[in-house]
Amino acid sequence: MASSGLAYPERFYAAAAYVGFDGSPNSNDKDIGSRFSNDVALILYALYQQATVGPCNVPKPSLWNPVEQGKWKSWKQLGNMVSAEAMRLFVKILEEEEPGWYSRASNSVLEPVTDVQMNHNAIVEPIIKNRNSFAERKTISAENGGLIETQDIDVVSEGLGSVVVYDQWTSPPITGQCPKGRYEHAAAVVEDKMYIYGGNHNGRYLSDLHVLDLRSCTWSKVEAKVESKSVERPSPVNITPSAGHSLIPWENKLLSIAGHTKDPSETFQVKAFDLQIGTWSMLNTYGKPPVSRGGQSVTLVGTTLVIFGGQDAKQTLLNDLHILDLETLTWDEIDAVGVPPSPRSGHAAAVHAERYLLIFGGGSHATCFNDLHVLDLQTMEWSRPTQQGEIPVPRAGHAGVTVGENWFIVGGGDNKSGASETVVLNMSTLAWSVVTSVEGRVPLASEGLSLVVGSLNGEDILISFGGYNGHYNSEVNVLKPSHKSTLQSKIMEGPVPDSVSAVHNATNPTRDLESEFEVGQEGKMRETAIDNFEPMKSKGGETSEHILAMLKAEKEELESSLNNEKLLSLQLKQELADAEARNTDLYKELQSVRGQLASEQSRCFKLEVDVAELRQKQQTMETLQRELELLQRQKATSEQVAINAKQRQGSGGVWGWLAGRTPQNADDA
């Protein structure tokens, strides 16, 4: 899946730890047999051995130990199945038996044995922070848009003052108690401080709150307290660990919105951290709240929060739309018109001109997106405008912030590789451009990182933290956008209504309404010139009446052309409406086909399990058949020996023949 949980092989190891395998080749936890049926326990054991050890090459156990023999047979029948396929089947069987295993295991998943080295060119230098020795990576030249090395002693003392290059990512020196590496956390800036809350580390949800002082570049941990009747002696509180949530500054509080938890509640939760007294509290909201979820987008528009999409505790992807009024704390579910974005999580959202909500990218269980959708918050109508410039590659788990008219997008990935480009969308022109790019598997090309906007000497700076790309990162990187890109946006923006309509009407790629407006204005100017024309003699002897006639003829021609253009515009609008209707039908058909595909995949998985069981039964039948044939041969041999013995006894031997005794007489005797 592109946007939820761990990727392979981490997801397999998390599932194995949840089942009870301790990681050793001969793992045999007694709890496994009590939690699953015998058949499922044997299949899980066999798949775990196949994934971690390989094909079964150990000797067959003794017949006196039927349990070990059953485990050996289950493993042996997998043959030469590759490790990756065994991992996938292991997780699928566990999800079939216990669909909510990942949420329940989030706080008990074993730490992986090793971390992947993401940047082989990095220079790792041990440094001492708060008496703890650890390694810090400070590399990548600025020539190719990578991180700028900051090892000059004078520059280090300046903190964020070392950020002197525009449109390049820089890794400034940071002191203090650095938070542990994580992704799917949330970040927010209040004044000169960046707050980091929660996240996911090695499959374990976190509840810690850290703050980075942007003036001194110093980390510190915030000890959360609970609201108490006695303000003088507040007591500590255990905040529910979460990941995939959102952090929104509001008045003197930080609002933590939704997120995945170990024991998810059925409804949406909003927590508030009071920055003045340092306490967490749960906000009581009114109305019908949305279902609990993580990976959603939360956008502050005026005094309301706009929540879109995400993934619920049952791993169902969502594309519903809800609004929370922060003044009345009242929920409202919005039934917008038009074609909404497909269900997704791990997308990015931004607001333009306090009226338009933009949704970009995200992922489903099978794919990642790079589509752009716009919601008019006044008419509550969805549209899909035409994007200009170099459209970014599909991605999920990216982060975005707005600076003026510019929407910066950083990071993300598609479960195969991270997105290395930092891109920017001009929300007035809907034109994409690349700001810079990084090389290698660095934190800026990872999923689940955070991105916020801070201020340095009166200039805006972008600050990223964390992310996962095979390694749980805890690095801080800073980028200062150039004045050029910001000024271009300000020059191109006109009055708000015109800018807004430009975004709204971008859904019609066949007609430029601005050109229509210019033609109309030109016609009005010509008409005014004609009305105010005074008769006079031209140098060529032409009379003013002749010039007036020429201008009137030109006016009539322009009016006719304008009418034709309006008629063509109406026809194109009708065709666009028909195309949108067909698109809606096709989308519904696509959803139906996806549902059928999911059902077929589920049935295929069950058939795979049935085939595995039938193979095991077939092997047992073959063993029984061989044993039956052996018994039949033994029986036939015994019967033949008995017949021969009886014949020898009845014949009386040679002496009986010499005495004239027949076999019949001998029997009578």
The answer to whether residue 235 sits within a structural domain is no
H/E stretch holding 497 reads: helix 496-504
User: 546-593 pLDDT, tens per residue?
Assistant: 777 788 888 888 888 888 888 888 889 888 988 988 888 898 889 889
**What is the model's pLDDT at position 479?**
95
Q: Which residues contact 33 (CB under 8 A, 6 or more apart)?
A: 41
Q: Among 445, 480, 515, give the residue marking a domain's end.
A: 480
State both tokens at 332. 């409202």
* Mean pLDDT, rounded, of the chain: 79
- The residue with greater pLDDT, 21 or 195, is 195
- Is 58's pLDDT higher than 80? yes
Residue 480's nearest CA partner among 456, 501, 503 is 456
**What is the model's pLDDT at position 114?**
33
Dihedral angle sign, alpha carbons of residues 238, 262, 465, 387: negative
Q: Categorize the per-residue pLDDT at 446 as very low, low, confident or very high, splitting at 50, 70 and 90.
A: very high
- Is 11's pLDDT higher than 90? no
Q: Which residues contact 25 (CB under 8 A, 6 or more apart)?
A: 49, 52, 53
- Is 236's pLDDT higher than 60? no
Other C-beta atoms closer than 10 Å to the C-beta of 28 total: 14
User: Cα–chain-centroid distance for residue 405?
Assistant: 26
Least confident of 254-258, 277-281, 496-500, 625-629: 496-500
H/E stretch holding 71 reads: helix 66-76
Residue 103's nearest CA partner among 1, 203, 219 is 203
Per-residue burial over 390-409, b if 16 or more Cβ lie within 10 Å, else e, is eebbbbbbbbbbbbbbbbbb
Tell me the average pLDDT across 512-530: 40
| Cα R_g (the chain), whole angstroms | 37
**What is the model's pLDDT at position 561?**
85
Q: Categorize the per-residue pLDDT at 415 as very low, low, confident or very high, splitting at 50, 70 and 90.
A: confident
Q: Categorize the per-residue pLDDT at 649 as very low, low, confident or very high, splitting at 50, 70 and 90.
A: confident
- 7-16, 288-297, 643-652: which has the highest mean pLDDT? 288-297
**What is the model's pLDDT at position 183?**
96
Q: Categorize the per-residue pLDDT at 268 as very low, low, confident or very high, splitting at 50, 70 and 90.
A: confident
The answer to whether residue 427 sits within a structural domain is yes
State both tokens at 235. 């007591």
**What is the model's pLDDT at position 419?**
94
**What is the model's pLDDT at position 487?**
39
Identify whether residues 287 and 370 lie together within a single domain: yes
State both tokens at 49. 């051995």
H/E stretch holding 225 reads: strand 225-226
Identify whether residues 174 and 317 lie together within a single domain: yes
Q: How far apart are CA 382 and CA 379, in angstroms?
A: 9
Q: How far apart are CA 76 and CA 83, in angstroms?
A: 14
Least confident of 238-252, 413-427, 481-495, 514-528: 514-528
Identify whether residues 292 and 424 lie together within a single domain: yes
Question: Strand 431-437 relative to strand 388-389: parallel, antiparallel, unpaired?
Answer: parallel
**What is the model's pLDDT at position 409?**
97
Least confident of 34-43, 85-94, 180-189, 372-381: 34-43
Q: What are phi and psi of 244, to 5 degrees?
A: 75, 20
**What is the model's pLDDT at position 20?**
83
Least confident of 7-16, 293-302, 470-479: 7-16
Q: What are phi and psi of 279, to 5 degrees?
A: -125, 145
Identify whether residues 186 and 306 lie together within a single domain: yes
- Which CATH number goes with the domain that contains 45? 1.20.80.10
Identify whether residues 350 and 216 lie together within a single domain: yes
The answer to whether residue 194 sits within a structural domain is yes
Q: Categorize the per-residue pLDDT at 508 as very low, low, confident or very high, splitting at 50, 70 and 90.
A: very low
The answer to whether residue 668 sits within a structural domain is no
State both tokens at 284. 């009581």
SS3 327: coil
How is residue 151 annotated by DSSP?
Answer: -
- Is 623's pLDDT higher than 80? yes
Identify whether residues 76 and 181 lie together within a single domain: no
- Is 132's pLDDT higher than 50? no
Residue 172's nearest CA partner among 205, 144, 133, 212 is 212
Q: What are phi and psi of 131, to 5 degrees?
A: 65, 15
Question: Strand 476-479 relative to strand 169-170: parallel, antiparallel, unpaired?
Answer: antiparallel
User: 174-223 pLDDT, tens per residue?
Assistant: 999 999 999 999 999 999 999 999 999 988 999 999 999 999 999 999 98
Tell me the average pLDDT across 26-30: 48
- Is 149's pLDDT higher than 70? no
- The residue with greater pLDDT, 530 or 222, is 222
Per-residue burial over 199-222, b if 16 or more Cβ lie within 10 Å, else e, is bbbbbbbbbbbbbbebeebebeeb
Tell me the average pLDDT across 327-344: 96
Contact predicate 460/454, CB 8 Å:
yes
- Is 148's pLDDT higher than 70? no
Q: How far apart are CA 421 and CA 437, in angstroms?
A: 4
**What is the model's pLDDT at position 543?**
58
**What is the model's pLDDT at position 325?**
96
Q: Among 427, 449, 480, give the residue marking a domain's end.
A: 480
State both tokens at 216. 């001194």
Domain that holds residue 46: 9-100
- Is 292's pLDDT higher than 90? yes
State if pTM tops 0.85: no
- Which CATH number goes with the domain that contains 408? 2.120.10.80
Directed axis angle between helix 66-76 and helix 38-52, to 10°? Answer: 60
SS3 255: strand
Contact predicate 450/464, CB 8 Å:
yes
SS3 351: strand
- Is 77's pLDDT higher than 80? yes
The answer to whether residue 561 sits within a structural domain is no
The answer to whether residue 553 sits within a structural domain is no
SS3 550: helix
Contact predicate 573/508, CB 8 Å:
yes
Residue type, 407: W
- Burial group, residue 627, by CB count within 10 angstroms (0-12, 13-18, 19+): exposed
Q: Categorize the per-residue pLDDT at 135 as very low, low, confident or very high, splitting at 50, 70 and 90.
A: very low
How is residue 289 annotated by DSSP?
Answer: P
Where helices occur in 98-186 by DSSP H, the ranges are: 101-105, 153-156
Residue 112's nearest CA partner among 392, 649, 533, 472 is 472
**What is the model's pLDDT at position 319?**
96
SS3 313: coil
Other C-beta atoms closer than 10 Å to the C-beta of 568 total: 12
**What is the model's pLDDT at position 552?**
81
Least confident of 199-213, 378-392, 527-541: 527-541
Identify whether residues 285 and 410 lie together within a single domain: yes
**What is the model's pLDDT at position 444?**
95
- Is 355's pLDDT higher than 80? yes
- Is 122's pLDDT higher than 60? no
SS3 128: strand
The answer to whether residue 419 sits within a structural domain is yes
For 18: left if phi > 0, alpha if psi spans -120 to 50, otherwise beta; the answer is: alpha
Q: Among 423, 454, 480, give the residue marking a domain's end.
A: 480
CA dihedral 127, 133, 137, 138 (to 10 degrees): -10
Domains contained in the chain, number:
3
Tell me the average pLDDT across 380-387: 96
SS3 127: strand
Per-residue burial over 338-373, b if 16 or more Cβ lie within 10 Å, else e, is bbbbbbbbbbbbbbbeebbbbbbbbbbbeebbbbbb
Residue type, 205: Y
Identify whether residues 584 and 464 lie together within a single domain: no
**What is the model's pLDDT at position 156?**
34
Identify whether residues 53 and 194 lie together within a single domain: no
Residue 380's nearest CA partner among 288, 430, 306, 481 is 306
- 267-281, 286-300, 504-518, 544-558: which has the highest mean pLDDT? 286-300
Contact predicate 363/2, CB 8 Å:
yes
The answer to whether residue 30 sits within a structural domain is yes
Identify whether residues 84 and 182 lie together within a single domain: no
Q: How far apart are CA 479 and CA 449, in angstroms?
A: 15
